[in-house]
Structure 1
Amino acid sequence: MLLAVPVYNEESNLPLFFPALFADLPEAIDEVLFINDGSSDASPSLLEETRRPGVDIVHHTTNQGYGQAMITAMTEARRRGHEYLITMDCDRQHRPEDIRHFIDADPAIDVVSGSRYLPSSRRCGDAPEDRVEVNSRITTRLNRRFGFRLTDAFCGFKRYRMQNIDPALFTERGYAFPMEFWAYAAVEGLSIEELAVSRIYTTDSRSFGEDLDRTRKRYHYYLKVLHQSTVRFSALHA
C-alpha cells in the first residue's frame, strides 16, 4: 500500500507534519511518496531530508497543479506495483492517525473517500463559507447526476484500489481533478464508500489561483470539467 502526499510550498507545515506522520505509521503502508509540485520555498530540501528506504520523493520541475500531483501519485502507485493508494494533504487538515481507518475499510471497495460532513466527522475550526457552499452545491449535483450518496465531493483524503483505475485516462491538472475522477468513477461503476474524517481549518488563506478565487467562477469551472469528463469517459466506455 502506497501513501502519497502532494506538496506545494508547505515549508511552514512540513516540520510539524513529518513527526505526526512518522511517529506511528501503520505497518500496512509499504511506502510513502511525496510529490513536490514545483515548490519555490524550502519544501524540496525538507522533503529530501526524509528520503530513506520506504520514503521517496518525486519532484515536478514546475508547478503543474493539484490534479497532476494526483495523476502522478496514481501512476507511481501502479508502476511500483501497489494494490492500494492512500492520498492525504500535509497542510494539517488531515490527521495521520486517520490513515488506519482507510486501511481497515472493506478491501473490496474501489474508492474509500474521506468526508468532513458526515455526522461523526469531528470539527476543528470553521471552514470558509464559500468553500462550504461550493462543495455542497457540487456534491448535490454529483449525487443527482450519478446516483451517488456523497456528502463531500472534494476531500483529498482517500483510498483507491488501483486495479480498477487507469490514471493514463486523466487529463485535468488543476483543482477540478475531483470532478474528472467522479465522472470516471460513475462511468466505470466503481464502488464508493465514505469515511468520516475530521474537518480541520486553521487558515482560510489558500488561493486557487487567478480568478478561481472568485466563488462563481470556480463553481462554473468545476461544472465545465464535470460535463466534459462525463462526455469523454462515456464515449470511451461505449
Structure 2
Amino acid sequence: MSRKALIALPVFNEERHVVDVLTEVRKYAEEILVIDDGSSDRTPELLEALSGIIVITHPENRGYGAALKSAFDFAVAHQDEYDLLITIDCDGQHEPALLPELVQQMREDAKVDILSGSRYLKSYDGASIPPEDRRQINVAVTRRINEQLGFQITDAFCGLKAYRTECLSKFNVTDLGYAMPLQLWVQAAAHEMKIVEFPVPLVYLEEERSFGGSLDDAIKRKAYYDEVLDREMQAAGLACCATECCDDRTDSFCE
C-alpha cells in the first residue's frame, strides 16, 4: 500500500479561519492532522464538529514550535503510513490549492529533503505589503542563514513546507516558540539536507497579529532569533556571532 502525504495545521485561537481553511484543505489533502495548541476560543468546538481529520490537543498553549513538533512526532510514529509531511498555517495566508504541487514536486525529486515555501521567490499580482519590521527581520535573518549555512533561500519564515518523513527524526526541536524554524535550518545544514524553495503568494490578512509578550517588540524579536541561531550553530560546531556575519552596517537590526 502506497504511503500518503499528511497535511498538518498548527492552530491556536483560529475560530475566524479554521472552518474555511480546513474546508479548502480537504479538497486537496490525502490526510489532515490539526494540532490545537491550547485554544481558548471556539476553535476546539469547531474542530470537534468536523469529521475526517485527526486532532492532537495541547491542554495549554505551548507555542508554534511545540505544535509543529507534535506534528513531526506524529508523522515519525506513523511513517509507515506517510511519506511526506506538509505544514500549512491556519490563518488564511497560505493557498491550499498549492498542496498538490508541493506533493508532486517532492515525489518527483527524491533527492529533496525539504521543499520550503517562499513569499519572495516570485512576484504575484495583488500581493500584500508585509509589515516593515517583519520584512526587515526576515531579510536580515535570511541573509545570515545563507552566509553561515551556505543556503540560497529567500524566505526564512514561511510556514508552508514539505518534509520527507524519514528526515523528521533527525531534528531535535527544543525551541517551542516562533524561532523553531531557525533551529531546523541549522540542523538541516548539519545533516546536509537538500533544500529547495517553492514560490507562494505573499498574503497578510491580519497585520496586527501579536507574537506575544516581548516578541511584539521588533528589536527584542530579532535578538531572540539571533540567540537561537547562535546557540544552534554552536551546538553544530558552526559558531558565529550575528554581528560578525553582518556585512550591511546600515541594517537597523545589525547595530
Q: Using structure 1 for the length normalisation, give the TM-score.
A: 0.92
In structure 2, the residue matched to 1:42 is: 42
* 1:29-178 alignment, distance < 5 Å: 29=30, 31-52=31-52, 55-81=53-79, 82-105=82-105, 106-121=109-124, 123-166=126-169, 169-178=172-181
AA partner of residue 6 (structure 2): L
Q: Is contact 2:118–2:158 with CA below 8 Å preserved after alignment?
A: yes
CA distance in 2, matches of 1:18, 1:168: 27
| Consecutive unaligned residues in structure 1, runs of 5 or more | none
- Could you tell me whether the CA contact under 8 Å between 1:37 and 1:69 is conserved in 2? yes
Measure how far apart 1:121 and its partner are. 4.8
SS in 2 for 1:34: strand
Q: CA deviation at 1:14?
A: 1.4
Q: What code does the residue aligned with 1:206 have? A: R
Q: What amino acid maps onto 1:76 in structure 2?
A: F
1:192 corresponds in structure 2 to 195
For the Cα contact (< 8 Å) 1:71–1:167, is it kept in 2?
no
For the residues of structure 2 that align with 1:123 and 1:226, how far apart are their CA atoms?
33
C-alpha distance in 2, partners of 1:60/1:122?
A: 38
Q: Distance in 1 between matches of 2:88 and 2:170?
A: 17
The letter of the residue matching 2:86 is I
- Give the secondary structure class of the aligned counterpart of 2:90: coil
Question: Which residue number in structure 2 is paired with residue 179 of structure 1?
Answer: 182
Q: Among the aligned pairs, what percent are the same residue?
A: 38
State the structure with more CA Rg. Answer: 2
Q: CA deviation at 1:128?
A: 0.8
Tell me, yes or no, if the aligned pair for 1:51 and 1:57 is still in contact at 8 Å.
no
* Cα separation, partners in 2 of 1:110 and 1:207, compared to 1, 3 Å: same
Q: Report the residue type matching 2:104 in the other structure.
A: D
Once residues 170 and 112 of structure 2 are traced to their aligned partners in structure 1, the CA distance between those partners, rounded to angstroms, is 18
Where 1:107 maps in the other structure, the secondary structure is coil
Q: CA deviation at 1:41?
A: 0.2
Matched, 1:5 2:9: yes
1:153 is aligned with what amino acid? A
Q: Could you tell me the TM-score, scaled by structure 2's length?
A: 0.86
CA positional deviation for 1:206: 1.2
- Give the superposition deviation at 1:123: 4.7
Report the CA distance between 1:167 and its aligned residue: 6.0
User: Structure 2: any 5+ residue segments left out of the alignment?
Assistant: 239-255
Query: Any idea what SS the aligned residue of 2:186 has?
Result: helix
Give the AA of the match of 1:56.
I
Partner of 1:222: 225
Q: Across the two proteins, how many residue pairs are aligned to each other? A: 229
Tell whether the 8 Å contact from 2:122 to 2:200 is kept in structure 1 after alignment.
no
Q: Deviations over 1:33-54 (max 9, x none)?
A: 00000000000111111233xx
For the residues of structure 2 that align with 1:19 and 1:173, how far apart are their CA atoms? 28
Give the superposition deviation at 1:169. Answer: 1.6
Q: 1:123 and 1:107, CA in 2 relative to 1: closer, same or farther beyond 3 A?
A: farther
Q: CA–CA distance in 2 between the matches of 1:72 and 1:234?
A: 27
CA shift digits 1:207-236 (9 cap, x unpaired): 11111111111001001001111222449x
Aligned to 1:124, what secondary structure does the other structure show? coil
How far apart, in 2, do the equivalents of 1:140 and 1:202 lie? 26
Query: What letter corresponds to residue 14 of structure 2 in structure 1?
Result: E
